Amino acid sequence: MTISRRRFFSWLVPSALAGWMGGRAQAYEPVQHAQATQAQLSAASAVQQLNSNSGAGLSGYAIRQKYTRGTVGAKLNHFITIEDFADENSAAGDWSSAIKAAIDYAVEAGIHDVYGTGTYTLSSPVVISGILGNKGLNLSLSHLIANKDWPQNYSLWDAKPMILIGDDTQVTGLNLRINMLNGAGRADGIRANQAGFSLSHLHIGDARDCIRVIANGEQIWPNASVQITGDFWTENWLGVYLSRGTKGTSPISEAWKIDVKFIANNRYGGILIRGGSQYTQIAGDYDYNGRYLSMVQVDSLDGLKRGMFVTNGRANSEVLMAFQDQHKSWLMLMEVEDVSAHQGTNSSFQKGQTLKASRGSSPKRRILAAHRCADNESGTNYIDILHDFEGEPFAKIQAVLGYCSGIYGSMMFTSFITAQNSFSSTTDNLRGLGITNSGTILALYNKAESDTAFANITSDFVNFQKKLYMQSRLYEGTGVAQVIRRSTSEFTTLFSLQESQEDRYLQELNLYKVYIKTNILGVAGEFLVSLTSDSSVKEPMVAQAVLWNQGAFAWRVSGYDFQVRQDLVDPMQFVANILRV
């Protein structure tokens, strides 16, 4: 059979095309199905992972990424963490630059909360600066530690701080919280820098091995109204140091509020407050501080002042505080080791030694007495708070303390201090008024003058240790005044008396001393008057004249009435002051 050329091609081409197309379909269909299946499996696996306990860790987030409202990313952008700014230094164990970067970014971006939940070692200070103002910044750090390479300090005053607050602009509105602060025995904790900070709250839970936990004294602008709180500060050199700055515009430290639950066992005291720190408010408990201090009484402060070094020929010491209290002169001397009575070595300074300046010339001062911590009978007295306002017009500190072993310094009689401890009953100092009560005797003390009570008050008497000085005021019992006209016969009752059973020792009769004065120069009288309630006695009241002007007035007793008559002027004024004795 012969097939035409046209029919041959009409059959061949569709068949070839169909075969070619069918071949492609058969080759493509299995690949597409496999990819779709794999995508379904991947999506299911992703959902399963996201639904797992660790699923949130698979979500992406970037600190500087903008997220739409209502997303998790938008909510996370309300705060930042220190780890968001970790760098190569952080990887090597130094978080100084990461913390600084986090703070700076928060201030710039208007973010108010910065968190760090890890343990952060530092090799250099973190500077908190920028204008926070009413916007505020909440900075919370878990653990902050000075690293092993932190510069060594050589005194209480030259340690490098872990955190510096302030620059040429003052920081306000800062809420800083550090759970644990460790200065590695070399670093200050927090210090004011340049303009410093005010209107802020610093909380340090546990503070250890710092030179000074919080300090200022180098600010050039007023640093006022700062709140300090904490839990347990121990084994530091000093807890809080407040003073005015040495330059700048009125660089005071007024109205700080310090409330740490327990400040204990710090070398040179719990708190040292100086001039410029007026109106500070202190609360909390204090004990076992000041074990590296010797407190010596000297014959005079002439030639001696805080900050200078003195020697007794064998030991040198810096004068931490030079002050007067109850007309005695005292020095707080900084020792290089524990000199407390029970735990330390002996003090380097003893009664009878002579002190003079270590450098330069100064008058020689005699040591009249030397004390150290725990040298009282119970071994419980420590130097917890140093109230250093020598040379200032006043201090006006408000301290309401649970337990405090000792507060020492000048001008304490200008402060309001009330505290409790186990060995002293005179720890209340209300502008210098000390108060104790044994249950039967209420005693009052002038703490600016003496630790001896000036008045003892019981249910039976008031006993003043010395004279009761009334100046030009009257000492008066019962006062009676009468205007009596001139008469040659008529007597007028000036006063009447009644017997009293009060305040008798036995059954003695009542006795009164009566002073009579008039408006006529030289006309007066003094009488002793006794009386009884015995109705059988003919004259129940008897008066004995000590003196009176017989030519000016006459007197008599009628029953319980004391009567007078005068024939000198018209009228005459009589005043009687009646004292029961």
- Contact indicator for 347, 372 with CB cutoff of 8 Å: yes
- Report H helices in 81-168: 88-91, 96-109
| Average pLDDT along the chain, 581 residues, taken 10 residues at a time | 44 41 44 62 70 70 74 79 94 93 91 95 92 81 96 97 95 96 98 95 98 96 97 98 94 97 98 97 98 98 95 96 96 98 93 93 93 95 98 96 96 95 88 92 93 93 90 92 96 95 91 97 97 89 96 96 96 97 94
- The β-bridge relationship of strands 293-298 and 365-372 is antiparallel
DSSP at 16? H
Phi, psi of 224 (to 5 degrees): -130, 160
DSSP at 183? -
C-alpha torsion sign, points 472, 475, 481, 487: negative
What would you measure as the largest C-alpha separation in the chain, in angstroms?
A: 191
pLDDT digits (tens, 9 = 90+) for 176-226: 999 999 999 999 999 999 999 999 999 999 999 999 999 999 999 999 999
How many helices (H) and strands (E) are present in the chain, helices listed first?
Answer: 4, 39
Q: Give pTM, 2 decimals.
A: 0.81
Q: Which two tokens stand for residue 116?
A: 């760090």
CA distance 128 to 164: 6
- Report H helices in 322-371: none
The ranges assigned to domains in the chain are 72-287, 293-381, 432-469, 478-580
Fold held by 478-580:
Immunoglobulin-like (2.60.40)
Q: Which among 275, 153, 274, 141 has a CA at the least distance from the CA of 212? A: 153
Cβ-based neighbours of 228, under 8 Å, separated by 6 or more:
202, 203, 214, 240, 256, 257, 258, 259, 260
* pLDDT at position 176: 97
- Contact indicator for 355, 310 with CB cutoff of 8 Å: yes
- The β-bridge relationship of strands 293-298 and 328-334 is antiparallel
* pLDDT at position 406: 96
* pLDDT at position 8: 39
* pLDDT at position 66: 77
Q: Which two tokens stand for residue 403?
A: 């337990």
Q: Which among 546, 538, 540 has a CA at the least distance from the CA of 562? A: 540
CA distance 537 to 114: 95
Q: Which among 258, 408, 397 has a CA at the least distance from the CA of 333? A: 408
